[in-house]
Structure 1
Amino acid sequence: MNSCPHSSLRNLPTLAALLLGLSSGLTALELSAAPTNIPSAATRFTDNDNGTVTDHLTGVIWLKNANCTETVGGVNKSAGVLAWDNALAWTAALDNGSCGLTDGSTASQWRLPNRKELQSLIDHGVSNPALPAGHPFTRVQSHYYWSSTTFALGANGAWGVNLTDGNRYAGGATFILYVWPVRQQANILIEQAKVANGLFWAAP
């Protein structure tokens, strides 16, 4: 499977770092250097001891198990990977009692993360997986994960994010990728950021 490297995102601080500055009332143009108050994984993430992890930087609640292989809603996920339509159906059927969940959640409360939510996890300073050191997630695969974001230039495609290095990928919905559900809406303010001469600015 070929990835679609996005060179402008290489060697960037995590998107979450930029989001942290924006949440403090700064615009991207006002950040003259990489934020120094980036929260560590220990303070950014809370393991809720119920099969979920809260990301306090974005407000997203993630399934702690990033590769649950249980059959949910009649969708067999024993191989870990699913085509996009099956990924949507499997995620929507997820509820309390599945995949280690004891959070009281019900079917339809879980969904695929959008592309921005997946990218907000990425730490471009590490790889395999490209997640912040000390993160509390389990069974994270250094491979592609589906997002709910469709590919605008293709009728039957969607975006994925490679957890090996954080690269984005746009592929056919029949391809099989990993699935990592979320619930609760995130507060993602930008799609991506670029860095030049130490300055941040919002991508066009």
Structure 2
Amino acid sequence: MRIVWLCCRVSAVLFSLWAGTMPGHVYAEESSSRFVLILDGEAVKDAVSGLVWEREPDYVFDVWDRSIARCATKTVGGKQGWRAPSIDEIKTLVDLDQQDPSLPAGHPFRNIKSGIYWTATPHPKDDIVAWQQSFFSGQAVTDQKSGTRRLWCVLGDVRK
């Protein structure tokens, strides 16, 4: 069996073409050149930011400090070293042209809830408040750390 991969850019969308075992048949599959599945499909590498995200964010709603601690103990796709993202890091995923969730069309993430997610970024003037990211509206918001939110862990360089 021989599989031939061809790649072309059509109308700013990347299409991967492959010719399978059936002669004369070519199949097209739209794919995103921005996101690549890694770690056995359990994580997503973002070519724009260079960061690696959980493919499926934490489903647990918890207060800020416990969420941050849980992220640090995770193993995803056999890899450890996960952490909570900064507000600037998580904002790199936001597409304001999309809503509910406000992620780029065709993203490979699973079970994204359009709610609000914690970040590791505390408010600079109020130590009981932290920055959060809404994936319904795409807007960054702040709220008290005692509230309960989900957390989307990241792997990669620490960015402020």
- TM above 0.5, yes or no, is yes
C-alpha distance in 2, partners of 1:86/1:52? 22
Does the residue aligned with 2:33 lie in a helix, a strand or coil? helix
**Identity, % of aligned pairs?**
26
* Aligned pair partner of 1:139 in 83, 86, 111: 111
* Aligned pair partner of 1:51 in 30, 42, 53: 42
1:78-114, Cα deviation, whole Å (9 max, x unpaired): xx2110001111101101xxxxx33x313xx110010
Change (3 A) 1:128 1:41: farther
Kindly state the Cα deviation for residue 151 of structure 1 after the two structures are TM-superposed: 0.3
Does the residue aligned with 1:146 lie in a helix, a strand or coil? strand
When Rg is computed on C-alpha atoms for both structures, the one with the higher figure is: 2
Q: Determine the structure 2 residue equivalent to 1:122.
A: 94
Kindly state the Cα deviation for residue 186 of structure 1 after the two structures are TM-superposed: 6.2
Change (3 A) 1:85 1:186: closer
8 A Cα contact 2:115 2:135, kept in partner: yes
The amino acid across from 2:66 in the alignment is N
**Root-mean-square deviation over aligned CA pairs:** 2.3
> Are residues 1:155 and 2:127 paired?
yes
Higher alpha-carbon deviation: 127-136 or 166-175: 166-175
The amino acid across from 2:143 in the alignment is G
Structure with the larger RCO, 1 or 2 (CA within 8 Å, 6+ apart):
1
Greater strand share, structure number = 2
Does the residue aligned with 2:32 lie in a helix, a strand or coil? helix
Q: Runs of at least 4 residues of structure 1 off by over 2 A?
A: 37-41
Change (3 A) 1:187 1:55: farther
C-alpha distance in 1, partners of 2:94/2:31? 12
C-alpha distance in 2, partners of 1:38/1:146? 32
C-alpha distance in 1, partners of 2:158/2:127? 26
Please list every run of 5 or more consecutive structure 2 residues that lacks an aligned counterpart in the other structure.
1-11, 15-29
Kindly state the Cα deviation for residue 177 of structure 1 after the two structures are TM-superposed: 0.9
TM value normalised by structure 2 = 0.76
1:143-197, Cα deviation, whole Å (9 max, x unpaired): 1000000101212111001000111111111111111000111678xxxxxxxxx
8 A Cα contact 1:114 1:147, kept in partner: yes
Does the residue aligned with 2:143 lie in a helix, a strand or coil? strand
C-alpha distance in 2, partners of 1:84/1:171? 10
Kindly state the Cα deviation for residue 50 of structure 1 after the two structures are TM-superposed: 3.7
